[in-house]
Amino acid sequence: MKELAIVPKKTVRPPDSGGRRVGPAEQEQMVLQFAPLIKYIASRLALRLPSHISLEDLISSGIIGLIDAIQKFDPAKNISFKTYAEFRIKGAMLDELRSLDWTPRSVRKKSNLIEQAYAKLQKSLGRPAEAEEVAQALGLGLEDFHHLLDETKGISLVALEGARKTSGGGSEPLEVDLADSLQDAKVRDSFLAVHFSELQETMVQAIEVLPDKEKLLISLYYYEELTMKEIGEIMGYTESRISQLHTQAMYRLRASLREYFQPEQD
C-alpha cells in the first residue's frame, strides 16, 4: 500500500502499549492490521456516492484517520481502540468529502427541498408521507421523483455530522468532537452526556416512526451490516429500489435531526 508512506516519524502511544511508546515500524504494523476495516468503511460509503468519487481517496483519508486515532487514543479510558478508530476513520473520510465540495449547488438545493417536503408533510399528515405524496408536493411524477432520489442520495452522508446545538439556553453553539468526548470521562458525565442521550432518543423515536419497509432496511443495513444487494434479495426489491428507500429514510431522519439541532424559535 503506497499510502503507508504517510505514517509519521513521531512516536505515539498505541492502544496496547501499556505506556510504552513505539516508532514508525510498529505504527505501520497497526495500519496494516486495520487496513481491512478502513477498506470496509470506505466501500460502504462509496456505494452511496457518485461514481467519480475515488475509493482510493477515501481509503487514503481513512489511513490518516487511523493514524490520528493511534496518536490520540488513551488506553486508560474505558473504550476499545476499534470503536475509537472507527470514529476517526469515518470522520476523516467525511472531512475529505466535505473538502472536495463534490455536490453541485443545484443538487444541494434539490436535496433541501425534498427534506423540507418530507418534514412538512409528516407534520401536516401526522404520519410518514408516501413517496407519491412527496412527489406531488414537489410537482413531480413518481418516476421523476425516484430519479431525484438517485441524484441526491449521497448528500445524507455528510449532512449534520457536525452536530451543533445551543447549550443551557445560551446563544453559543455546542461544537464537539465525538471521538474525543467518548474518551473524556469529565465530558461524558457533564452536559454533553445529556446532549448525546437526547440525540440518541431523538434517533430512536425517528426510526420508530419510519414506514415498516424503511425501518427494516435501516436495521439490515446499519445493524446487520448487509449490502444493498443482499437487502434487496431479502425484501424482494431491486438494488436500485433499496437504494431509493434508503435515501427516503435518510431524508426522514435528517428532518428529525434538523428539528433537534435547530428547534423552531417561539
pLDDT in tens, 79-138: 788 888 888 898 888 888 777 766 677 888 888 899 899 999 988 998 889 999 999 999
pLDDT at 204: 84
pLDDT of res. 200: 72
* 85 and 111 share one domain: no
Phi and psi angles of residue 194, each rounded to the nearest 5 degrees, phi first: -65, -40
Beta carbons of 252 and 123 less than 8 angstroms apart: no
> The domain spanning residue 43 has which CATH number?
1.10.1740.10
The residue ranking higher by pLDDT, 195 or 175, is: 195
pLDDT of amino acid 245:
93
Residue in the block written with cell 464537539: 176
Task: Tell whether 133 and 194 lie within a shared domain.
Answer: yes
What's the number of domains the chain is made of? 2
For the segment 120-132, what is each residue's pLDDT rounded down to a tens digit? 998 899 888 999 9
Q: What is the pLDDT of residue 46?
A: 81
Same structural domain for residues 134 and 243? Answer: yes
Decide: 154 and 116 in contact? Cβ < 8 Å. Answer: no
Average pLDDT over residues 243-266: 77
Say yes or no to pLDDT of 163 above 70.
no
Domain final residue pick, 100, 125, 143: 100
Q: What is the pLDDT of residue 191?
A: 47
- Which spans in the chain are helix H? 24-46, 55-72, 81-100, 105-125, 131-137, 142-152, 178-183, 185-188, 191-208, 212-218, 228-235, 239-261
Report whether pLDDT(142) > 90: yes
Q: Which of 100, 118, 150 is the last residue of a domain?
A: 100
Amino acid letter at 35?
A
Q: Give the pLDDT score at 233.
A: 95
Please check whether residues 249 and 123 belong to one and the same domain: yes
- Give the pLDDT confidence score for residue 38 in this predicted structure: 92
Q: Is residue 266 in a domain?
A: no
Q: How confident is the model at residue 220 (pLDDT cuts 50, 70, 90)?
A: very high
Q: Whole domain around residue 120: which residue ranges?
A: 105-261
Q: How confident is the model at residue 3 (pLDDT cuts 50, 70, 90)?
A: very low
Three-state secondary-structure class, residue 5 = helix
Tell me: do 28 and 94 sit in the same domain: yes
Structure confidence at residue 216 (pLDDT): 94
